[in-house]
Amino acid sequence: MNPLLQFSRRFLYRHPGQLALALVGIAAGVAVVTGVALLRDVLVQSLDLAADAITGQDSLRIEHPAGSLSESIYVDLATRAGSPDLIPVLRARARHGNENLEILAIDPLAPRTGPMGLSGPATAPLMGTTDGVIMSQGTLDRLKVDTETPLRVRAAGRSASLQVVAVLADRPGLDQRLIMDLANAQELLDRQGELSWIEAPAEARDWLARNLPDELRLVSADQRRDSAARLTAGMRSNLTAMSLLAFAVGLFVVHAVLAFLLVQRRRQIGMLRAIGVTPGQLRAVLAGEALVLTGFGALLGLALGTVLADALLDLVRSPVAEVYGMVTAGTVRPSASLYLAIWLMAVVLGLASVTGILRSAMRIAPGELSRDSQLGGTLSDRQIILIATALAVIGSVTLFIGQDLPFALAGLFLWLCVAALLAPSAGMALLAGWQRLRHRHLTGRAVGMLRQSRTRLAPALAALSLALGLSAGMAMMVLGFRTAVDDWVERLLRADAYLTVSAGQIDDELVGAVQSWPEVISVSSARQRELPDGNRLVAFDLPAPAWAGFEWLAGNPDTARDAFLAGQGLLITEPLARRKQLDIGAILDFMTPQGEQQLPVVAVYRDYGSDRGVIAIDGSLYRQLFGDERRDSLGLYLGDPSAPLQERLDALPVDATLTTREQVRAQTLAIFDRTFRISWALALLVGLIALVALVSALLALGLERGRDYATLRALGLTRAGLLAWVITQTTALAAAAAILAIPISLGIHTTLSLVIQPRAFGWTVPLTVPLTPWLAMLPMALAAGALAGLYPAWAITRQDPAPLLRSR
């Protein structure tokens, strides 16, 4: 074997701990990036995979602008000459326990090869029963059901018992979906005569262009993917930003570890140079090491990330269903190209992060035997300030340029770079302050020693400050947002109790019956309907007290109310107003069964219920335009809020449930909390990687400062004393990082709340400064710092001081 390779290999063998740290650092960073990237794909492709599973790739979808279409349109198209294989689909959401499911009802005989490979008479079980469903093995396992027992689901506001008649091999598009026969589903959902859309194979485009009636439109797979992408843009951007930060922190680890490995070999490199090894040969060996480390670490990271993605998917599954009405796949679907892209990015950035170290290694003079001079960064304070200022200016401009989310994220990222650049100097200044305060004390001296290793510690300090700042900033945003949502719900819920039905429906008759109860002063009602453009239309019947529930952001409340009640105007939510840039007086077009309608916007109100936006319309006008007498829920305004109503409920001809205002509020906040579980998880991951960075930097420091530690031992510091010395140093570093994290987190919180949220979701969040994250972060950082010091301290105290003292 080449002696240089031997040199490299033997060295890595002697330092398995550092090797492991480097691998953990890069693997963890890559794992988070991979996990989030796979998750993003799931969010975008979720809608499409089902179509792929049923119709084949790149299928087309025939839709009616009103949202649903008559089955007679299908029959007409399917029996025309030259008709392609069209598949009628009726879609509905369903729940089994806490699992969100989607019923996809099709004619199992329509596709050429049968649904997902079941063909012709083999689909007879689906048609041969009245309640048969087919699902994938994965879904069956997740729901913890079997083919023997009935599957209880809630769909279309009622409970139903279904029978699993066949189980299909896992395909991503089938996850969380129940395939039903159209006839059975139309009865179950009470949607006779109706289809949600018609699927057509990609090659049918020309025929459809010739044959499709004018009122129908053709939506391509790309358009569907775009709309899913738009729908989830906010969530995906946030996830991406978090994953890139995790990766950046992972790079700090690689940088720290490789620098450390180099420090240890300074003497050897000096000797190699003395015996004639050229800088080019050395560079090749060291770059080769970095390549193998990052390459292998990235491979590990890809594998870990794939496993992580499934765990993250569990966290987003219910919020995605609750917030976006989308059923996500049960497992992620990695592609070779995605893996390759992430691997290459990791290797290239990993190598780039160590170019500085490589350059300094090349500067080691032949025969140079010292190993305690500094290596690594060469930027002066002045240069740092210049670069930071430039980045801050560009970042600020980017942040406020245009209204696009990517600009805001880029701006935030640049500002985080500024924070990363300034954190080491600021941290050192803090440590200097401490040293001045306690200069006679041992802790002051321990901290003083840190300040001499600024270059070594800079990456760790930057990584830790950023990670802590990010976690705290995220936490502040989430808590602030939670308070805002809580206030909003509190204000919105004016009724004393809300009535929903699980079987039967709320129609005029039922509303009349409830209104006649002596306990009830007045009744409000709401009916939601999804419009074809993805907006939600909500029809409200609002008695006078309900109007206080709106927080008006634009428009005159009194005139708006009059216009709304007279059916001459619409109310819209803030996200819709922002997304479509609608002001008061703007005319809104929307499709109804009676054709397109136009009404002016008369007011904009605060709403955190849907980032797609909601259009509110007067209930009577809605019923007149849509011919839909049903309501989803009733709000009951009671004379005595504690009046017992159970008997009256029992007397109703439907299965009705009353939910109190408090229960609704609790449910809303529970959904909110589920939505942000993923953010907490990612913040935690970033924090953990930052700790790895801290440990590796301290190890490097321990070795680099070996002589100093040996001197301390020679001067009489015991092993226990040295242990305390090192732990003091790590704790002090963590404390400095935590203090720096306070302004960083405030900046992140402000940017997320005031810039990112409105752009990602369309709503503004009143800025509050919750202190809990800071109060929690400080002790946690100190404890983590102390813990992170244990291993380096043990490693340092284990060294025999005598050879170190003799080394010069």
Partner 1 sequence: MRLDLVLFGLAVAALVAWLSWQTRTVEPEIGTIGLAEVLGDAPEHFRRVTGPEPLSFPNDHGSHPDYRSEWWYFTGNFETGAGQRLGFQFTLFRFALNQPQSARSDWSADALWMAHLALSDGRSQRFFQSERFARGALGLAGATPSRWWLRDWVVTATEQGWQLNAEAGEFALDLDMVQTRPLVFQGDAGYSRKGPEPGNASRYYSATRLETRGRIRIDDQWLDVEGLAWLDREWGSNQLSDTLAGWDWFALHLDDGRDLMVYRLRNHEGEASPWSAGALVDSDGGSRTLRYADFSAQPLDWWRDPEGHRWPLAWRISVPGADLDLTTRPVFEDQLWRRSVRYWEGMIDVIDSATGAVIGRGYTELSGYAE
Q: Which residues bind partner 1 (CB under 8 A)?
A: 1, 9, 13, 53, 71, 75, 78-83, 85, 107, 109-110, 112-114, 116-122, 124, 127-128, 130, 169-171, 181-184, 186-187, 192-193, 296, 299-300, 302-303, 306, 334-336, 339
Shortest gap between Cβ of 690 and partner 1 (angstroms)? Answer: 26
Tokens of 794: 């043990």
Identify any residues that bridge with 62 across adjacent strands, giving them in sequence order.
Answer: 198, 218
Residue number, 188 or 683, with CB nearest to partner 1: 188
Shortest gap between Cβ of 717 and partner 1 (angstroms)? Answer: 39
Residue number, 105 or 430, with CB nearest to partner 1: 105
Residue number, 117 or 433, with CB nearest to partner 1: 117
Strands (E), 107-202: 132-136, 151-155, 158-168, 177-181, 194-195, 197-200
Shortest gap between Cβ of 191 and partner 1 (angstroms)? Answer: 9
**221-225-231 Cα angle (round to 5):** 145
Shortest gap between Cβ of 576 and partner 1 (angstroms)? Answer: 36
If one counts every other C-beta atom within 10 angstroms of the C-beta of residue 372, the result is 17
Residue number, 304 or 752, with CB nearest to partner 1: 304
Strands (E), 464-549: 497-503, 520-530, 536-541
Region class of 192: left (phi > 0), else alpha (psi between -120 and 50), else beta: beta
What gap in Å lies between CA 248 and CA 405, rounded to an integer?
Answer: 21
Residue number, 5 or 775, with CB nearest to partner 1: 5
- Judge whether 732 and 443 are in contact, CB under 8 Å: yes
Residue number, 275 or 336, with CB nearest to partner 1: 336
Shortest gap between Cβ of 623 and partner 1 (angstroms)? Answer: 24
Residue number, 183 or 554, with CB nearest to partner 1: 183
Residue number, 83 or 764, with CB nearest to partner 1: 83
Shortest gap between Cβ of 55 and partner 1 (angstroms)? Answer: 12
What gap in Å lies between CA 795 and CA 723, rounded to an integer?
Answer: 10
What gap in Å lies between CA 473 and CA 752, rounded to an integer?
Answer: 8
- Judge whether 636 and 523 are in contact, CB under 8 Å: yes
Q: Which of 593, 548, 467 is nearest to 65 (CA)?
A: 593
Residue number, 309 or 588, with CB nearest to partner 1: 309
What 3 state SS string does 701-762 have?
Answer: HHHHCHHHHHHHHHCCCCHHHHHHHHHHHHHHHHHHHHHHHHHHHHHHHHHHHHHHHHHHHC
Shortest gap between Cβ of 121 and partner 1 (angstroms)? Answer: 6
Tokens of 409: 């994220």
Shortest gap between Cβ of 169 and partner 1 (angstroms)? Answer: 6
Residue number, 121 or 367, with CB nearest to partner 1: 121
Distances (CA, A) of 223 to 220, 404, 484: 5, 20, 34
Shortest gap between Cβ of 302 and partner 1 (angstroms)? Answer: 6
Identify any residues that bridge with 711 across adjacent strands, giving them in sequence order.
Answer: none
Q: Which helix (H) or strand (E) holds 635?
A: strand 633-638
Rounded to the nearest 5°, which phi and psi values hold at 554?
Answer: -160, 150
What gap in Å lies between CA 419 and CA 402, rounded to an integer?
Answer: 24
Residue number, 340 or 767, with CB nearest to partner 1: 340
Rounded to the nearest 5°, which phi and psi values hold at 771?
Answer: -90, -15
Shortest gap between Cβ of 696 and partner 1 (angstroms)? Answer: 22
Shortest gap between Cβ of 505 and partner 1 (angstroms)? Answer: 16
Q: Which helix (H) or strand (E) holds 145?
A: none
Provide the 8-state DSSP code for 115: G
- Judge whether 164 and 151 are in contact, CB under 8 Å: yes
Shortest gap between Cβ of 113 and partner 1 (angstroms)? Answer: 5
- Judge whether 210 and 87 are in contact, CB under 8 Å: no
Q: Which of 743, 742, 705 is nearest to 726 (CA)?
A: 705
Tokens of 422: 């300034």
* SS3 category, 75: helix
Residue number, 105 or 422, with CB nearest to partner 1: 105
Shortest gap between Cβ of 114 and partner 1 (angstroms)? Answer: 7
Q: How far is CA 747 from the centre of its chain?
A: 20
Shortest gap between Cβ of 76 and partner 1 (angstroms)? Answer: 10
Distances (CA, A) of 777 to 385, 447, 684, 783: 28, 21, 12, 10
Shortest gap between Cβ of 8 and partner 1 (angstroms)? Answer: 12
Residue number, 106 or 738, with CB nearest to partner 1: 106
Residue number, 163 or 306, with CB nearest to partner 1: 306
Residue number, 116 or 326, with CB nearest to partner 1: 116
Q: Which of 430, 155, 316, 214 is nearest to 681 (CA)?
A: 316
150 Cβ partners below 8 Å, 6+ apart? 131, 161, 162, 163
Provide the 8-state DSSP code for 631: B
Shortest gap between Cβ of 170 and partner 1 (angstroms)? Answer: 7
Residue number, 182 or 497, with CB nearest to partner 1: 182
